[in-house]
Amino acid sequence: MAVQAVVFMQNMPGRLARMTGALAGAGVNIRATTISSSEGFGVAKFLVDKPEAAAAALKDAGFPVALKSVVAVKMDDSVGGLDRILPLIQSRDINLEDAYGFILERGKEAVFVFEVEHPEELGEFLSRNGCSVMSDSDLYGL
């Protein structure tokens, strides 16, 4: 199962730069990142090529870090790409905890990342239904 590094941080200046600095120092390449904030604190998520190394580097920099499994799906970067997947997820009554996407090649390929309670189950289900669920090595090797 592919994982992303999830980091707890305070909403204050310089925190994000400190994280990216730590990742760069560890030779970690960031594929995608999102930040959500709530009541004075934030959670940053990093999809990277070397999650374990990323977690270690961020921990060393003083941040609480967790590695969280995700389901990454490759899709066409075209109108309706996402619209083919979401109804599938909905049909299983699965609650999306978080989701984000990024483009691999403009007009060709995009990746969508889903965070759910049971990622293994969702991964298998989407594969069975013709989605191209990325393996760990696929994702890390982008």
Among positions 55-74, residues that touch another protein (CB under 8 A) are 59, 62-68
Determine if 40 is a binding residue for another protein (CB under 8 A): yes
Radius of gyration (C-alpha) of the chain in whole angstroms: 16
Is the separation of the CB atoms in 46 and 30 below 8 Å? yes
Indicate the residue among 40 and 80 with the shorter CB distance to another protein: 40
Determine if 1 is a binding residue for another protein (CB under 8 A): no
Among positions 82-101, residues that touch another protein (CB under 8 A) are 97
User: Using CB atoms within 10 A of its CB, is residue 57 exposed (0-12), middle (13-18) or buried (19+)?
Assistant: buried
Nearest distance, CB of residue 36 and another protein, angstroms: 6
Stretch that binds another protein, among 41-49, 99-107, 120-128, 131-139 (CB under 8 A): 41-49
Stretch that binds another protein, among 7-15, 71-79, 82-90, 125-133 (CB under 8 A): 7-15
Contacts by 18-22, CB closer than 8 A, 24 or more apart: 18/61, 19/44, 19/46, 19/58, 19/61, 19/63, 21/61, 22/57, 22/58, 22/60, 22/61
Q: Which residues bind another protein (CB under 8 A)?
A: 6, 8-10, 36, 38-41, 43, 45, 59, 62-68, 97
